[in-house]
Structure 1
Amino acid sequence: MAKTDTTHTGSPIAEKKPGSSAEKSSSLKKFFVDSLKDIHYAEEAIIEALTKMQEAATTEELKDAFEDHQLQTKKHVSRLQKVFGLIGEKPEKKKCEAIEGIIKEGEEIIKSTKEGSMTRDAALIIAAQKVEHYEIASYGGLVQLAITLGHDKAAELLERTLEEEEDTDYNLTEIAETHINLDAEQED
């Protein structure tokens, strides 16, 4: 855990590691905070997208998976708000162009696949996994930045979310491999 120095302003300042400059550290912290704002926006957008995906899904198993992930995503938003507090920042959002594109692609899948088909479910799983992979990459990087910046409690919270995102990705793969992909292959 980083040592703190409260001699100048009365507020904790993370001790800098040897060889790092204050400028680099403040630039890294700004990037860290901007990345948190980005994933905060993304998580909120994902909540809305999951409602559409759940409505579009054919099988109850996939509908349930999307519902479960939506509830989990709401917890992720709450956890992110705690992370902002732990690092002394106000929870804010910054438009995430990447998630906007991934969600738009998911909406196109819904429009271009037959309602009630297993092909739609297979395609929705792939769309959902693209979301998961974006989140996994984001949270993986955020965990490491939090550690580097000495925000160990924030890193722990971000790590918990990362693990949940990885579990969701694995569960989606299981659903696809168990029967949806095989059933979709049998459709005309």
Structure 2
Amino acid sequence: MALFSKDIETLEDLYLHMVRDIYYAEKQIEKSLPDMIEKARNPDLKKGFEGHLEETHGHVERLEEVFRLIGEEPKGTTCPAIDGIIKEANDVAGDIADQNVLDAALAAAAQAVEHYEMTRYGTLIAWSEELGRSECAGIFKKTLEEEKAADEKLTKVAEMRLNQAA
């Protein structure tokens, strides 16, 4: 099974594929965050998820701006990586009865998502610069900073409250 489509022959093709990949991922995250908000009981975790859901709406809008800048229609391509991360989070969350342990698991799952997004946005920044798309690179940098900040917040909540309670 090929990792990428046979239609990818140039960095330009790969770039478009990656933009579509992260667009799909952000849309899937938009769908899954409300469930995580509902399951979370720790007020700081819940608040963090709610804030990140709002940011994720902005990430989708920014990606739609990138599509406009590169002359493409906003369209996702299935991302097995994010699907797997979300499936694993749902499977684990479904098996945990203790609410404190569940909150720790939700935070860990959210961090897995953040780390995936950070790798994608970092790559897209580099490729944007290589392709002379500095405006796109700037858009991706803003989103990357938000993803890093979300990860840092999750770490603080987990280390100060969730892990010890679990």
TM-score, length basis structure 1 = 0.82
> What is aligned with 2:3?
none
> What is aligned with 2:37?
54
> What is aligned with 1:31?
14
Unpaired segments ≥5 residues, structure 2:
1-8
How many angstroms apart in 1 are the aligned matches of 2:133 and 2:70?
Answer: 7
Which consecutive segments of 4 or more residues in structure 1 shift more than 2 A? none
> What is aligned with 2:135?
153
> What is aligned with 2:28?
45
How many angstroms apart in 2 are the aligned matches of 1:121 and 1:86?
Answer: 39
> What is aligned with 1:8?
none
TM-score, length basis structure 2 = 0.93
- Cα deviation for residue 59 of structure 1 reads 1.1
* Per-residue CA distance 1:8-38 (angstroms, 9 max, x = gap): xxxxxxxxxxxxxxxxxx7101100010001
SS in 2 for 1:95: coil
Q: Does 2:34 align with 1:66? A: no
Q: Does 2:164 align with 1:164? A: no
Unpaired segments ≥5 residues, structure 1:
1-25
> What is aligned with 2:86?
103
> What is aligned with 2:111?
129
How many angstroms apart in 1 are the aligned matches of 2:38 and 2:89?
Answer: 13
> What is aligned with 1:7?
none
How many angstroms apart in 1 are the aligned matches of 2:71 and 2:127?
Answer: 15
How many angstroms apart in 2 are the aligned matches of 1:130 and 1:101?
Answer: 11
How many angstroms apart in 1 are the aligned matches of 2:46 and 2:26?
Answer: 19
SS in 1 for 2:72: coil
Give the structure, 1 or 2, with the largest relative contact order (CA under 8 Å, sep 6 or more): 2
How many angstroms apart in 1 are the aligned matches of 2:45 and 2:146?
Answer: 17
How many angstroms apart in 2 are the aligned matches of 1:179 and 1:158?
Answer: 31
Alignment of 1:108-123 (within 5 A): 108-114=91-97, 117-123=99-105
State the identity %. 42
How many angstroms apart in 2 are the aligned matches of 1:114 and 1:141?
Answer: 38
* Per-residue CA distance 1:110-150 (angstroms, 9 max, x = gap): 111115x1111111110000000000000000000000000
